[in-house]
Amino acid sequence: GENVEQHPSTLSVQEGDSAVIKCTYSDSASNYFPWYKQELGKRPQLIIDIRSNVGEKKDQRIAVTLNKTAKHFSLHITETQPEDSAVYFCAASISGYSTLTFGKGTMLLVSP
Amino acid sequence: DAGVTQSPTHLIKTRGQQVTLRCSPKSGHDTVSWYQQALGQGPQFIFQYYEEEERQRGNFPDRFSGHQFPNYSSELNVNALLLGDSALYLCASSLNDNQPQHFGDGTRLSIL
Protein backbone atom coordinates (compact mmCIF):
# COMPACT_ATOMS: atom_id res chain seq x y z
CA GLY A 1 0.00 0.00 0.00
CA GLU A 2 0.88 3.66 -0.04
CA ASN A 3 3.54 4.99 2.37
CA VAL A 4 4.04 8.69 3.10
CA GLU A 5 7.19 10.01 4.75
CA GLN A 6 7.22 13.54 6.20
CA HIS A 7 10.14 15.72 7.28
CA PRO A 8 11.09 17.37 9.53
CA SER A 9 9.24 16.14 12.60
CA THR A 10 9.68 19.53 14.29
CA LEU A 11 10.43 22.94 12.81
CA SER A 12 11.12 26.12 14.76
CA VAL A 13 11.17 29.49 12.98
CA GLN A 14 11.04 33.15 13.88
CA GLU A 15 7.97 35.17 13.05
CA GLY A 16 8.21 36.45 9.50
CA ASP A 17 10.47 33.63 8.30
CA SER A 18 9.41 31.02 5.75
CA ALA A 19 8.75 27.39 6.63
CA VAL A 20 9.00 24.37 4.32
CA ILE A 21 7.73 20.88 5.08
CA LYS A 22 8.49 18.01 2.71
CA CYS A 23 6.76 14.70 2.01
CA THR A 24 7.49 11.74 -0.20
CA TYR A 25 5.08 9.04 -1.30
CA SER A 26 5.63 5.54 -2.60
CA ASP A 27 2.74 4.75 -4.94
CA SER A 28 2.97 6.47 -8.32
CA ALA A 29 -0.81 5.98 -8.72
CA SER A 30 -1.51 8.55 -5.98
CA ASN A 31 -3.26 11.54 -7.47
CA TYR A 32 -4.50 13.72 -4.62
CA PHE A 33 -2.30 15.42 -2.01
CA PRO A 34 -3.89 17.48 0.79
CA TRP A 35 -2.26 19.26 3.71
CA TYR A 36 -3.99 19.47 7.08
CA LYS A 37 -3.32 21.72 10.07
CA GLN A 38 -4.16 20.36 13.51
CA GLU A 39 -4.03 22.57 16.56
CA LEU A 40 -3.77 20.94 19.96
CA GLY A 41 -6.98 19.15 20.86
CA LYS A 42 -8.72 20.20 17.65
CA ARG A 43 -9.81 18.58 14.42
CA PRO A 44 -7.54 18.43 11.36
CA GLN A 45 -8.39 21.27 9.00
CA LEU A 46 -7.65 21.25 5.29
CA ILE A 47 -5.41 24.20 4.41
CA ILE A 48 -4.49 23.44 0.80
CA ASP A 49 -4.55 20.52 -1.61
CA ILE A 50 -3.25 19.65 -5.06
CA ARG A 51 -4.08 17.08 -7.68
CA SER A 52 -1.51 15.24 -9.74
CA ASN A 53 -2.22 17.19 -12.93
CA VAL A 54 -1.01 20.42 -11.29
CA GLY A 55 2.56 21.29 -10.31
CA GLU A 56 1.96 24.17 -7.93
CA LYS A 57 -0.91 25.83 -6.10
CA LYS A 58 -0.96 28.99 -3.98
CA ASP A 59 -3.39 30.44 -1.48
CA GLN A 60 -2.16 33.70 0.05
CA ARG A 61 0.82 32.80 2.29
CA ILE A 62 0.57 29.07 1.62
CA ALA A 63 1.75 27.14 -1.41
CA VAL A 64 2.14 23.49 -2.31
CA THR A 65 4.45 22.08 -4.98
CA LEU A 66 4.32 18.59 -6.48
CA ASN A 67 7.05 16.68 -8.31
CA LYS A 68 5.43 13.54 -9.71
CA THR A 69 8.65 12.20 -11.16
CA ALA A 70 10.41 12.30 -7.82
CA LYS A 71 7.20 11.47 -5.92
CA HIS A 72 7.49 14.29 -3.47
CA PHE A 73 5.45 17.33 -2.53
CA SER A 74 6.12 20.27 -0.23
CA LEU A 75 4.24 22.86 1.80
CA HIS A 76 5.60 26.39 1.84
CA ILE A 77 4.44 28.98 4.36
CA THR A 78 5.73 32.52 3.94
CA GLU A 79 5.71 35.37 6.48
CA THR A 80 4.95 32.96 9.32
CA GLN A 81 2.90 34.17 12.27
CA PRO A 82 2.57 32.75 15.82
CA GLU A 83 -0.93 31.51 14.95
CA ASP A 84 0.64 29.25 12.32
CA SER A 85 2.02 27.16 15.19
CA ALA A 86 0.41 23.71 14.96
CA VAL A 87 1.02 20.19 13.69
CA TYR A 88 0.89 19.90 9.92
CA PHE A 89 0.12 16.63 8.14
CA CYS A 90 0.60 15.75 4.52
CA ALA A 91 -1.44 12.97 2.95
CA ALA A 92 -1.87 11.11 -0.31
CA SER A 93 -4.74 9.26 -1.92
CA ILE A 94 -4.83 6.76 -4.77
CA SER A 95 -8.58 7.05 -5.24
CA GLY A 96 -10.96 9.81 -4.34
CA TYR A 97 -10.51 12.36 -1.60
CA SER A 98 -11.19 10.26 1.47
CA THR A 99 -8.97 7.19 1.63
CA LEU A 100 -5.95 9.15 2.75
CA THR A 101 -2.55 7.90 3.87
CA PHE A 102 -1.06 10.47 6.24
CA GLY A 103 2.49 11.35 7.12
CA LYS A 104 3.51 11.40 10.79
CA GLY A 105 3.24 15.15 11.07
CA THR A 106 5.46 18.19 11.56
CA MET A 107 5.19 20.34 14.66
CA LEU A 108 5.73 23.93 13.54
CA LEU A 109 6.65 26.44 16.25
CA VAL A 110 6.67 30.13 15.29
CA SER A 111 8.33 32.36 17.87
CA PRO A 112 7.35 36.05 18.12
CA ASP B 1 -24.99 24.60 9.09
CA ALA B 2 -23.66 21.94 11.47
CA GLY B 3 -20.35 20.38 10.60
CA VAL B 4 -19.31 16.83 11.39
CA THR B 5 -20.29 15.91 14.93
CA GLN B 6 -19.01 12.98 16.96
CA SER B 7 -20.07 11.46 20.26
CA PRO B 8 -18.99 10.91 22.90
CA THR B 9 -16.01 13.28 23.16
CA HIS B 10 -14.19 11.10 25.67
CA LEU B 11 -14.57 7.47 26.69
CA ILE B 12 -12.76 5.19 29.10
CA LYS B 13 -12.98 1.41 28.73
CA THR B 14 -11.13 -1.62 30.01
CA ARG B 15 -9.43 -4.36 28.03
CA GLY B 16 -11.81 -6.87 26.48
CA GLN B 17 -14.79 -4.55 26.44
CA GLN B 18 -16.65 -3.34 23.37
CA VAL B 19 -17.24 0.26 22.32
CA THR B 20 -19.47 2.13 19.86
CA LEU B 21 -18.59 5.58 18.56
CA ARG B 22 -21.01 7.75 16.62
CA CYS B 23 -20.71 10.27 13.82
CA SER B 24 -23.14 12.62 12.09
CA PRO B 25 -21.82 13.91 8.77
CA LYS B 26 -21.91 17.50 7.62
CA SER B 27 -25.28 18.43 6.13
CA GLY B 28 -25.47 17.32 2.50
CA HIS B 29 -22.67 14.78 2.81
CA ASP B 30 -23.26 11.08 2.17
CA THR B 31 -19.83 9.49 2.58
CA VAL B 32 -18.28 8.82 5.98
CA SER B 33 -14.72 7.74 6.68
CA TRP B 34 -13.18 6.74 10.01
CA TYR B 35 -9.59 7.25 11.09
CA GLN B 36 -7.55 6.23 14.15
CA GLN B 37 -4.97 8.77 15.37
CA ALA B 38 -2.54 7.47 17.99
CA LEU B 39 -0.72 10.05 20.11
CA GLY B 40 1.96 11.80 18.10
CA GLN B 41 1.01 10.08 14.85
CA GLY B 42 -0.93 10.90 11.74
CA PRO B 43 -4.47 9.58 11.27
CA GLN B 44 -4.75 6.03 9.89
CA PHE B 45 -7.64 5.14 7.58
CA ILE B 46 -9.94 2.49 9.04
CA PHE B 47 -12.81 2.30 6.54
CA GLN B 48 -15.28 4.28 4.46
CA TYR B 49 -19.06 3.98 4.21
CA TYR B 50 -21.25 5.01 1.30
CA GLU B 51 -24.87 4.04 0.63
CA GLU B 52 -24.86 2.01 3.87
CA GLU B 53 -22.06 -0.23 2.60
CA GLU B 54 -18.39 -0.46 3.51
CA ARG B 55 -16.74 0.77 0.34
CA GLN B 56 -13.06 0.70 1.28
CA ARG B 57 -11.10 -0.62 4.22
CA GLY B 58 -7.64 0.03 5.61
CA ASN B 59 -5.33 -2.38 7.38
CA PHE B 60 -7.39 -2.94 10.53
CA PRO B 61 -8.53 -6.27 12.04
CA ASP B 62 -12.10 -7.52 11.96
CA ARG B 63 -12.52 -6.32 15.56
CA PHE B 64 -13.19 -2.96 13.91
CA SER B 65 -16.59 -2.82 12.24
CA GLY B 66 -19.00 -0.13 11.24
CA HIS B 67 -22.41 0.78 10.04
CA GLN B 68 -24.04 3.56 8.11
CA PHE B 69 -27.69 4.46 8.55
CA PRO B 70 -30.16 5.76 5.93
CA ASN B 71 -29.66 9.31 7.26
CA TYR B 72 -25.90 8.90 6.47
CA SER B 73 -24.84 8.89 10.13
CA SER B 74 -22.35 6.19 11.04
CA GLU B 75 -21.11 4.07 13.92
CA LEU B 76 -17.70 2.57 14.56
CA ASN B 77 -17.65 -0.56 16.73
CA VAL B 78 -14.54 -2.04 18.28
CA ASN B 79 -14.70 -5.43 20.01
CA ALA B 80 -12.28 -7.07 22.44
CA LEU B 81 -10.52 -3.78 23.18
CA LEU B 82 -6.74 -3.80 23.54
CA LEU B 83 -4.50 -1.25 25.24
CA GLY B 84 -3.21 -0.33 21.78
CA ASP B 85 -6.68 0.78 20.73
CA SER B 86 -6.25 3.90 22.87
CA ALA B 87 -6.37 6.76 20.39
CA LEU B 88 -8.34 9.66 18.98
CA TYR B 89 -10.96 8.35 16.56
CA LEU B 90 -11.81 10.81 13.83
CA CYS B 91 -14.80 10.79 11.54
CA ALA B 92 -14.77 12.66 8.24
CA SER B 93 -17.48 13.23 5.66
CA SER B 94 -17.74 14.27 2.04
CA LEU B 95 -20.16 14.17 -0.87
CA ASN B 96 -19.64 10.83 -2.64
CA ASP B 97 -15.89 11.19 -2.21
CA ASN B 98 -15.91 13.87 -4.92
CA GLN B 99 -14.66 16.69 -2.75
CA PRO B 100 -12.27 17.18 0.17
CA GLN B 101 -13.53 15.72 3.39
CA HIS B 102 -14.38 17.55 6.61
CA PHE B 103 -13.28 16.13 9.95
CA GLY B 104 -15.09 16.04 13.26
CA ASP B 105 -13.43 16.81 16.59
CA GLY B 106 -13.00 13.12 17.35
CA THR B 107 -13.63 10.77 20.24
CA ARG B 108 -10.74 10.25 22.66
CA LEU B 109 -10.80 6.56 23.66
CA SER B 110 -8.68 5.44 26.60
CA ILE B 111 -8.27 1.75 27.43
CA LEU B 112 -7.23 0.82 30.97
Q: What is the 3-state secondary structure (H, E, C) of B52-90?
A: CEEEEECCCCCCEEEEECCCCCEEEEECCCCHHHCEEEE
pLDDT digits (tens, 9 = 90+) for A9-51: 999 999 999 999 999 999 999 999 999 999 988 899 999 999 9
**Integer Cα distance of B33 and B26 in angstroms:** 12
Residue A80 reports pLDDT greater than 90: yes
Grouped pLDDT means (10 residues each) for chain B, 112 residues:
90 97 95 94 95 93 97 97 97 87 95 95
- The pLDDT, as a whole number, for residue B1 is 59
Interface of A with B in 86-105 (CB under 8 A): 89, 91, 95-105
- The pLDDT, as a whole number, for residue B86 is 97
Q: How far is B108 from chain A (nearest CA, A)?
A: 10
> What's the number of CA atoms in the CB half-sphere (13 Å) around residue A47?
22
Measured between beta carbons, which residues in chain B are less than 8 angstroms from residue A102? Answer: 42-44
Element (H, E) at B44: strand B44-50
Taking every pair of Cα atoms in chain B, the longest distance, rounded to a whole number of angstroms, is: 39
Q: Does B48 touch chain A (CB under 8 A)?
A: yes
Contact A47, A39 (CB under 8 A): no
Average pLDDT over residues A47-72: 94
Interface of A with B in 4-63 (CB under 8 A): 4, 6, 34, 36, 42-46, 49
Interface of B with A in 17-46 (CB under 8 A): 31, 33, 35, 40-45
As separate numbers, helices (DSSP H) first and strands (DSSP E) second, chain B gives: 0, 11
Sheet with B5-7, strands from edge to edge, namely B5-7, B19-24, B74-78, B64-68
Residue A101 reports pLDDT greater than 70: yes
- CB-nearest to A44 from B43, B56, B99 is B43
**Integer Cα distance of A58 and A60 in angstroms:** 6
Contact B74, B34 (CB under 8 A): yes
Q: Does B9 touch chain A (CB under 8 A)?
A: no
CB contact under 8 A, B94 and A98: yes
What are the φ/ψ torsions at residue B3 (nearest 5 degrees)?
-85, -155
Torsion of Cα atoms, B9 then B98 then B55 then A42, to 10°: -20
Q: State whether the Cα torsion A76-B58-B53-B9 is positive or negative.
A: negative
- The pLDDT, as a whole number, for residue A88 is 98
> What's the number of CA atoms in the CB half-sphere (13 Å) around residue A56?
4
Q: How far is A88 from chain B (nearest CA, A)?
A: 9
Contact B89, B75 (CB under 8 A): no
Nearest CA to A100 out of A28, A16, A30 is that of A30
Burial-class residue A79 by CB neighbours within 10 Å (0-12, 13-18, 19+): exposed
CB contact under 8 A, B48 and A105: no
- The pLDDT, as a whole number, for residue A52 is 85
Name the 3-class secondary structure at B1: coil
Q: How far is A16 from chain B (nearest CA, A)?
A: 27
Measured between beta carbons, which residues in chain B are less than 8 angstroms from residue A103? Answer: 42
Contact B38, B90 (CB under 8 A): no
Residue A98 reports pLDDT greater than 80: no
- CB-nearest to B43 from A1, A45, A102 is A102
- The pLDDT, as a whole number, for residue A1 is 83
- The pLDDT, as a whole number, for residue B6 is 97
Calculate the average pLDDT of chain A.
Answer: 94
